[in-house]
Structure 1
Amino acid sequence: MNPKSALSPKLTALAVSLALFATGCGQAADNAAPSSSPSTGSPSSESSPTGVSPSPAGSASPAASASTVPSASAGTSPEGTAKPSVKPSDSATPSVKPTAQPAATGKPTVKPTAKPAATAKPAVSPTAKPTAKPTVKPSAKPSPSVKPAAPVKTADIAAKIKETVQMPTLMAVEGDRIQEVYYLDPAQLADSTFLQPMMNVSTSKIVVVRLKAEKDYDTVANALKKRADDVIRMFSTYLPDQYELAKNYQIVRKGDYVLFSISREQQQVAKAFESFFK
């Protein structure tokens, strides 16, 4: 539908309503002018009871009735108060534009005060570190007042074994005889004791030596094994019981001390030897 054709009946109705409203207002003005003079110019009509006639002609006077009632009713007649049938368009925008928005407040022109200047570093440098080294050297470590115990004598160990274990009478082998029988040079040993039977009817032996150095152990042990082989070979066809004892020889080491023994009680001999090193 064309918008202009739709608005034409509405505009026509609005124009008719406005014309009727204007006509009603004109009639009300005309009736109000003559009605004011009788009410103010003839006081007798208000004070005398005879002025009001019960006759129909006096009550229906058009001039008197028109001064009061018709003026009010004419303005409120249905034709004059009828609301326009045309509603204002929803899309109509208000004619009054909103006032302009307040201008944004300006930024403060005063700049913040300058930051406090950094505190100056002290111009005086710290004092130099002392370069001189202490002249006093620490005193030497005190030597222990108690000296370590003296090395155990091999003769004392051999004597203790003889007291602990029952053995035949033994004699000491000394000098060049040591090298001839046991293949050892006494100068290579720090201390030594060699004991063997006086009679060549027993294989019992007690030999205790103290090494001069760790490296000398293999030399000493090999020489003692060689002596054991000689005894075994000597008694292999001579005395069977002594031959069995010879095969049961033992070599025991405790630190720098070495024991070589042939005895019926080898375990007791070893315990007596080791008792010096607990």
Structure 2
Amino acid sequence: MKRFLSVLLMFAIGMGILAGCSSGGGTAEELSASEVGERIQQTVSFQDMKQGDLEKLQKLYQIETGKVEDFILYTASSNVKADELAVIKVNDASDTEYIKEKIQQRIEAQTIKWKDYRPEEYFLIEKHVLKTKGTFVLFAVSKEVDQIESVFDEALR
């Protein structure tokens, strides 16, 4: 009888842990870019970065604001660093390619800027992540790009 109760208790604890680990945050489409950004920030430090606003988003990527539902943007606080993070949620999934094209133009400009000036920052740009998932676009330039991509993928399962 004790063995049965022990097994039952362990099963109940295991189910509780699994229930606690589930996202519970609704579907990926219900998430905002800010919520995805918060999840990334729980894993990766934004300490040496500054948050950008809509004006900065337009300046860096020349994106039409009508296509963007929500976004987060962080850039390096120093002009000798290439770190950058953008999570953009578009109004319509068909606009993700447009956003990617605009970000690709930024990547090309940054590549030229950093190639000879700071090779270690150029390496980060070469290792960038630019991907879409549903109505979300992720752009990351960071030493921790793999963790950022992993959290982004996990958040939007």
How high is the TM-score relative to the length of structure 2? Answer: 0.75
Distance in 2, matches of 1:227 and 1:157, equals 22
Large movers: runs of 4+ above 4 Å: 147-150
1:169-190 deviation digits (Å, cap 9, x = unpaired): 2112213332121111222111
* Deviation of 1:158 (Å): 1.6
Matched, 1:191 2:70: yes
1:59-115 deviation digits (Å, cap 9, x = unpaired): xxxxxxxxxxxxxxxxxxxxxxxxxxxxxxxxxxxxxxxxxxxxxxxxxxxxxxxxx
* Deviation of 1:195 (Å): 0.9
Unaligned runs of 5+ in 1: 1-146
Counterparts of 1:7-86 in structure 2, within 5 Å, are: none
Distance in 1, matches of 2:87 and 2:36, equals 7
Distance in 2, matches of 1:190 and 1:270, equals 21
Task: Looking at secondary structure, tell me which structure has more helix per residue.
Answer: 2
Distance in 2, matches of 1:149 and 1:234, equals 35
Give the aligned partner of residue 163 of structure 1. Answer: 42
Q: 1:227 aligns with which of 99, 103, 106?
A: 106
Answer yes or no: is the 8 Å Cα contact 1:190–1:211 preserved in 2: yes
Give the aligned partner of residue 125 of structure 2. Answer: 246
* Deviation of 1:262 (Å): 0.7
Change (3 A) 1:250 1:149: closer
Distance in 2, matches of 1:187 and 1:151, equals 19
The total of aligned residue pairs comes to 132
Higher relative contact order by CA 8 Å / sep ≥ 6: 1 or 2? 2
Distance in 2, matches of 1:227 and 1:149, equals 27
Task: Looking at secondary structure, tell me which structure has more strand per residue.
Answer: 2
Give the aligned partner of residue 91 of structure 2. Answer: 212
> What is the identity, as a one-letter code, of the residue corresponding to 1:187?
G
Pair member with larger Rg = 1
Aligned with 2:30: secondary structure?
Answer: coil
Aligned with 1:241: secondary structure?
Answer: helix
Give the aligned partner of residue 258 of structure 1. Answer: 137
Give the aligned partner of residue 63 of structure 1. Answer: none
Matched, 1:179 2:58: yes
Answer yes or no: is the 8 Å Cα contact 2:67–2:92 preserved in 1: no
Distance in 2, matches of 1:267 and 1:149, equals 20
How high is the TM-score relative to the length of structure 1? Answer: 0.44
Distance in 2, matches of 1:149 and 1:250, equals 19
* Deviation of 1:220 (Å): 0.4
Unaligned runs of 5+ in 2: 1-25
Change (3 A) 1:150 1:220: closer
* Deviation of 1:227 (Å): 0.9
* Deviation of 1:168 (Å): 4.9
Distance in 2, matches of 1:148 and 1:244, equals 35
Distance in 1, matches of 2:114 and 2:92, equals 34
* Deviation of 1:160 (Å): 2.0
The percent of aligned pairs where both chains have the same amino acid is: 19
